[in-house]
Chain A
Amino acid sequence: MLEARNLRKSFGELVATDDVSLEFGREDGELVFIVGPNGAGKTTFVNLLTGFLSPDEGSIVLDGDDITAMSANERVDAGIARSFQVVKVFEEMTVRENLRTVVLTERGKTWSLFSMADGHDDVERTVDDLLSKFRLDDAADTVAEELPHGDRKLLDVAMSFGLDPDYLLLDEPTSGVSTREKEYVIETVVEVGREAGVTTVTIEHDMDIVTEYADRVVALHQGAVHGVGPPTMLETDDELRRLLLGVGE
């Protein structure tokens, strides 16, 4: 279980994360969506969990161990992977090379100076597997910077997934993706995550997607937790509807 305990983070006057306590992965493969208006502190919260930022107060606990002081790369080793809102992939590598680099790192093989990067059969098998799971086979030999946006998003998620995480934090995997591709991206993510029993925490703005796929919804507002509940909460909580959609103003 991944827990945030009384996390607090401010940037100058702005309190981006205000005493947030949450738990993820009580059940394996749980699909949690984080919703909230712009500036609610969603990304900051993910940044705190993954070690991109360190909290001013509070702690992050993984399976009972305090990991607040762990560096970003140590957290990855501990089983927490993330993707980025603005795609961050290795632009000059092909899709296959991107995934290979990830899997080599995950298997601890990047200190090998004299083996062939493409000569590790177990790594190659995992890479092929990832390519087909994320439906990127056709783009395998395309250089990342030349990929269409939807595929770039998928690659970003596939790379996080290639780290074989227990917890996957996705920062708007569908942002900037066309409506038609959105379903495709999120379906792939959900399918692959469910199958592997990965607890997925996703920041999402599209309420249709949240309603359709979420096991649990976390709503943030002005850095604090507004509410936690089933996706029906989006229908029943009028205050939340007003915050998210501007309904009823």
Chain B
Amino acid sequence: MPERVETDGETRYRFLGVEATRREAVALALGVVALFAVPDVTRLSDSLQLGVIHQGLLFGFAAVGLNLLLRHTKLTSFGHAAFFGTGAYATAVLAKYAGLQSVGLLLLGAIAAATVMAALIGALSLRHTGLYFALLTLAFGQLLYAIALGQSALGGSDGMPIRPGPANQPLLLGTTFEPAVYQILTYYLTVAVILVGLFVMYRITQSPFRNALDAIGQERTRARFIGLPVRRYVWAAFVISGVYGGVAGGLYAVVRQYVRPEGTLFFLRSGDILFMAILGGFRTLVGPLIGGVVLIFLQDVGQDVTQYYEFLTGVVLLVLVYGFPRGIVGSFRSGGVVSERLGQLRREPSAVADWARSAVRTTERKAVESLSSLRIILFGVD
């Protein structure tokens, strides 16, 4: 049962090492309920699709892993799709060539493959930091993409199907299910994996290991001079974050029963995963997961509305960077833009007028600046 702790005059609840204020505990409980309710909710509405949310959660889970690097070691990986793809392809290969049928074993295979791949890519790219690190991860990701594209054994650009069961039927716990039922069952499998994965990540971010990663991210030189073998720690974090990607990729393959290079390994996928972490709030634990669902949902809706759906996600990214740099979850937290503004609004409703005025002023100023730049570019004079 949850245990009550009083710290700094604030009541907090502790359960399995997870400590939360009442507000956070309620948000957490609502979040879990929402996760479980998704299949029922999506049945009620045409615009919400279980498959879309499921896919968002899977990529979001990979982003949760990426976030360990981004948030703590401050390294930006542009190649995280490599591990997602490795997990997905490992699952496909094990199902097709080794005849593995158990989803549990397939996922273990995905984890093993992603671990090896992350260990390798990490060892080769962590000699550098900053831009060169980002470029190296991007390069290794593209290498894997090219391999998947070029190998006929892996299906080339067509990709390959995963058919664990007899007669091409999906198999879970040794039983075949109708596609609709299979979709729901695998969804709950994903939910279970995500809950365990988030719990593990939460514990990691409360541990001394996190202190080491933060130290490295904030002042790398000093980290060495307090005795931390920096590269070994960053490498460990890189592997852990890769494993999250591998699990997500393995689940994706099980759910979709098909893997393609475009969908899993292409570098734009890496960009998406990074975007998800920032969109949801990379200073938070669950932000990247929510970012995942929101981004995939936006892409899906955007595709229905216009063929230039990237425009939509581009605009969202701009709004985010200028208006909500802490991301969705970060903005709602105490100290975030949204929660600050809501508090202000409660105290003084007339504040809205001020915000509107300031927004108009800012837009006006930006417009004048842009016009001025344009004049200078076009005519050489302001």
Q: Which residues on the B side are within 8 Å of A120 (C-beta)?
A: 208
**For the complex, is B47 an interface residue (Cβ under 8 Å from A)?**
no
Q: Which residues on the A side are within 8 Å of B320 (C-beta)?
A: none
**For the complex, is B226 an interface residue (Cβ under 8 Å from A)?**
yes
Q: A118 to chain B: closest CB distance in Å?
A: 8
**B interface bracket (residues with beta carbon within 8 Å of A):** 20 to 34
1/0 per residue, CB under 8 A from B, across A65-101: the answer is 0000001110011000110100011111100010011
Q: Please tell me which one of the listed residues B204, B207, B214, B226 contacts residue A102 in the complex, with CB atoms under 8 A apart.
A: B226
**For the complex, is A113 an interface residue (Cβ under 8 Å from B)?**
yes
Supposing A90-B215, A114-B203 touch, asked if A163 and B208 sit within 8 A by C-beta, the answer is no
**For the complex, is B382 an interface residue (Cβ under 8 Å from A)?**
no
Q: Which parts of B271-316 form the interface with A (CB within 8 Å)?
A: none
Q: Please tell me which one of the listed residues B207, B210, B227 contacts residue A105 in the complex, with CB atoms under 8 A apart.
A: B227
The answer to whether B209 touches A73 (Cβ under 8 A) is no
Q: Which residues on the B side are within 8 Å of A43 (C-beta)?
A: none
Complex Cα–Cα for A116 and B17 (A): 8
**For the complex, is B129 an interface residue (Cβ under 8 Å from A)?**
no
Complex Cα–Cα for A102 and B226 (A): 6
Complex Cα–Cα for A110 and B229 (A): 11
Q: Which parts of B211-231 form the interface with A (CB within 8 Å)?
A: 211-212, 214-215, 218-219, 221-222, 224-230
Q: Which residues on the A side are within 8 Å of B226 (C-beta)?
A: 76, 81, 101-102, 105-106, 159, 163
Supposing A73-B227, A77-B227 touch, asked if A104 and B211 sit within 8 A by C-beta, the answer is yes
Q: Which residues on the A side are within 8 Å of B215 (C-beta)?
A: 90, 93, 101, 105
The answer to whether B214 touches A73 (Cβ under 8 A) is no
Which of B203, B211, B215, B233 has most chain A Cβ within 10 Å? Answer: B211
The answer to whether B218 touches A91 (Cβ under 8 A) is yes
The answer to whether A115 touches B207 (Cβ under 8 A) is yes
**In the complex, which residue of chain A has the Cβ closest to the Cβ of B236?**
A111
The answer to whether B209 touches A92 (Cβ under 8 A) is no
The answer to whether B209 touches A111 (Cβ under 8 A) is yes
* Residue tally, chain A, CB below 8 Å to B: 36
**In the complex, which residue of chain A has the Cβ closest to the Cβ of B218?**
A90
Q: Which residues on the A side are within 8 Å of B372 (C-beta)?
A: none
Q: Which residues on the A side are within 8 Å of B204 (C-beta)?
A: 113-114
Complex Cα–Cα for A110 and B224 (A): 13
The answer to whether A93 touches B207 (Cβ under 8 A) is no
The answer to whether B221 touches A88 (Cβ under 8 A) is yes
**For the complex, is A50 an interface residue (Cβ under 8 Å from B)?**
yes
Q: A88 to chain B: closest CB distance in Å?
A: 4
**For the complex, is B206 an interface residue (Cβ under 8 Å from A)?**
yes
The answer to whether A113 touches B218 (Cβ under 8 A) is no
The answer to whether A76 touches B225 (Cβ under 8 A) is yes
The answer to whether B228 touches A105 (Cβ under 8 A) is yes
The answer to whether A92 touches B225 (Cβ under 8 A) is no
Q: Which residues on the B side are within 8 Å of A112 (C-beta)?
A: 207-209
Complex Cα–Cα for A72 and B209 (A): 20
Q: Please tell me which one of the listed residues B208, B222, B229 contacts residue A117 in the complex, with CB atoms under 8 A apart.
A: B208
The answer to whether A110 touches B214 (Cβ under 8 A) is no
Q: Which residues on the B side are within 8 Å of A52 (C-beta)?
A: 221, 225
**For the complex, is A242 an interface residue (Cβ under 8 Å from B)?**
no
Q: Which residues on the B side are within 8 Å of A102 (C-beta)?
A: 226
Q: Which residues on the A side are within 8 Å of B210 (C-beta)?
A: 117
**In the complex, which residue of chain B has the Cβ closest to the Cβ of A77?**
B227
Q: Which residues on the B side are within 8 Å of A114 (C-beta)?
A: 17, 203-204, 207
Q: Please tell me which one of the listed residues A81, A88, A113, A115 contacts residue B219 in the complex, with CB atoms under 8 A apart.
A: A88
Supposing A77-B227, A115-B207 touch, asked if A110 and B212 sit within 8 A by C-beta, the answer is yes
The answer to whether A89 touches B206 (Cβ under 8 A) is no
The answer to whether A89 touches B219 (Cβ under 8 A) is yes
Q: A146 to chain B: closest CB distance in Å?
A: 14
Q: Which parts of A27-86 form the interface with B (CB within 8 Å)?
A: 50, 52, 71-73, 76-77, 81-82, 84
Q: Please tell me which one of the listed residues A71, A101, A117 contacts residue B206 in the complex, with CB atoms under 8 A apart.
A: A117
The answer to whether A93 touches B228 (Cβ under 8 A) is no
The answer to whether A90 touches B208 (Cβ under 8 A) is no
**In the complex, which residue of chain A has the Cβ closest to the Cβ of B220?**
A88
Q: Which residues on the A side are within 8 Å of B206 (C-beta)?
A: 116-117
**In the complex, which residue of chain A has the Cβ closest to the Cβ of B211?**
A101
Which of A71, A97, A110, A112 has most chain B Cβ within 10 Å? Answer: A110
The answer to whether A109 touches B225 (Cβ under 8 A) is no
Q: Which residues on the A side are within 8 Å of B229 (C-beta)?
A: 71, 73
Q: Please tell me which one of the listed residues B207, B214, B228 contacts residue A113 in the complex, with CB atoms under 8 A apart.
A: B207
Complex Cα–Cα for A8 and B203 (A): 48
The answer to whether B233 touches A110 (Cβ under 8 A) is yes
The answer to whether B208 touches A81 (Cβ under 8 A) is no
Supposing A73-B227, A101-B226, A110-B228 touch, asked if A117 and B221 sit within 8 A by C-beta, the answer is no
Beyond A97-B211, A115-B208, 19 additional pairs, beta carbon < 8 A:
A71-B229, A84-B221, A84-B225, A90-B219, A90-B222, A91-B218, A92-B214, A93-B214, A100-B211, A104-B208, A105-B211, A105-B226, A105-B227, A106-B226, A110-B209, A113-B203, A113-B207, A113-B209, A117-B210
14 contacts between A and B (CB under 8 A): A73-B225, A76-B225, A89-B219, A90-B215, A93-B214, A101-B215, A105-B211, A110-B209, A111-B209, A113-B207, A115-B207, A117-B208, A117-B210, A163-B226
